[in-house]
Amino acid sequence: MPKLSFISVFLYFVPETSGFSRLAAPNPTPCRLPHSPYGRARLADAATATRTLPTPATTTHRTINPAYPDLPLDKYLANPYFAKIRTDYPGLQLIHEEPFLFLVHDFLTADECARLRRKADTGTLRPQFGGGAVERTSSGVVCVNDEVPTLRTKLQTLTGVSDMAQLQPLKISKYRPGQVFSKHTDAWPTEEAPVTRGWVQERDFFGDESRPTRGCYPARNQPNHNTLLTCFVYLNTVHGSGYTTFPNIGLHQSRDGGSFYRNPTPLDTHARVDGSAWDWEYRDEAASVQIAPTQGLAVLHFCSVLPEYGGICDGNVLHVAEAPLEGQDKYVAQQFVASCTEWSLPDDSIPYGRVSWDTI
């Protein structure tokens, strides 16, 4: 029997009967991809198709934070499975390979951070939910696209996606002291995913085996598609707490026993490839990455592989937003980026009109 109490996995899934609403992008363009096991029949160079992107505002040298490793980009650039962001973006630093974790120092200015914090403070904060057994006690606002046009352009440039409609409406979250977002992924399960039925210790936890034929949960029922990457930006500096931690690095391997990053295969939460039992509380202190909230700092991670490889979720990037200590609030802006332009969203991700009149 699955031990629900031990699970802290973000399902990002809400049954339609519980008020789940849909938000379709204007002029949705259905994305058609081959239906093959794990979508492995690669579309002719979809990943490297020519894209017209705005150039970054400045092309100054990178600002390196010595508190984190500054890794060469070769492995990331050579890996075919993940979206390619703009690696010449000012302030960009690769701090971890496989999974690839990037920071961008001073991605938002102090003024932009203050104005986004003000939106969260003056707007109507709504409770946020994680789904399933995920504990999420923060609250937030969701901006309509027209109130953050400059930020969306910046985010499109950094993330390198060809279509602005791949950017979900920008969210701003506020954590009061003690508030958390427990272990979760920003990826989406499929309609048939065991996790959507509460069967959590299963071979195909996220339904990636059926993703090529059944697509995601009806919220996004396009075969092979998923959330490609997340870029979140800390809007204030939090001292000694409020970290974002990636504790599962190394846990999700390929089913052939090799690396997920050579041969991505669906997450098996029933047993590990060496036959040992899956452990939801797994946390490899030595391997885990912890990032301290610093005003203006952006963090990028890739929660699934590209649709031409089946949109399989990467269980190594399950992550936790830890609580700020007494006397401090934590503010974060989150940009989720989908692999296609047509999607629906859970209620806490839909804008209810402008949050405020400030246009950023």
Taking CB under 6 A as the criterion, the residue among 93, 190, 241, 334 binding ligand AKG is: 334
Nearest CB to ligand AKG, comparing residues 232 and 343: 232
167 token code pair:
């950017």
225 vs 319 by CB, closer to ligand AKG: 319
Shortest Å distance, C-beta 300 to ligand AKG: 12
Determine what percent of the chain falls in helix, strand and coil, rounding each to the nearest 5: 20, 15, 65
Least distance in Å: CB of 44 to ligand AKG? 33
332 touching ligand AKG, by CB under 6 A: yes
Q: How far apart are CA 125 and CA 224, in angstroms?
A: 33
Choice between 184 and 225, CB closer to ligand AKG: 184
Nearer to ligand AKG, 12 or 89 (CB): 12
Amino acid found at 313: C
Structure tokens at 302: 């890739």
Please name the residue that has the structure tokens 């979140």: 232
Q: Is position 309 an interface residue for ligand AKG (rule: CB under 6 A)? A: no
> Does position 319 bind ligand AKG by CB under 6 A?
yes
Q: Convert residues 157-196 into a mask of x (bound to ligand AKG by CB under 6 A) and - (unbound).
A: ------------------------x----x----------
Kindly state whether residue 12 participates in binding ligand AKG, applying the rule CB under 6 A: no
**Which of 183, 208, 203, 201 has its CA nearest to residue 279?**
201
Determine phi and psi for 141, rounding to 5 degrees: -125, 160
**Closer to ligand AKG by Cβ: residue 33 or 323:** 323
CB nearer to ligand AKG: give 154 or 183.
183
Q: Is there a contact between 331 and 120 (Cβ–Cβ < 8 Å)?
A: yes
Please tell me what DSSP assigns to residue 213.
H
> Is the preceding peptide bond at 99 cis, omega within 30 degrees of 0?
yes
User: With contact defined as beta carbons under 8 Å apart, do 82 and 99 qualify?
Assistant: no
Number of residues that bind ligand AKG (CB under 6 A): 9
Question: x/- site string to ligand AKG, residues 244 to 273, per CB under 6 A?
Answer: x-----------------------------
Containing 126, the helix (H) or strand (E) segment is strand 126-127
For the chain, the maximum distance between any two Cα atoms, rounded to a whole number of angstroms, is 56
Interface ranges with ligand AKG (CB under 6 A): 181, 186, 230, 232, 244, 319, 321, 332, 334
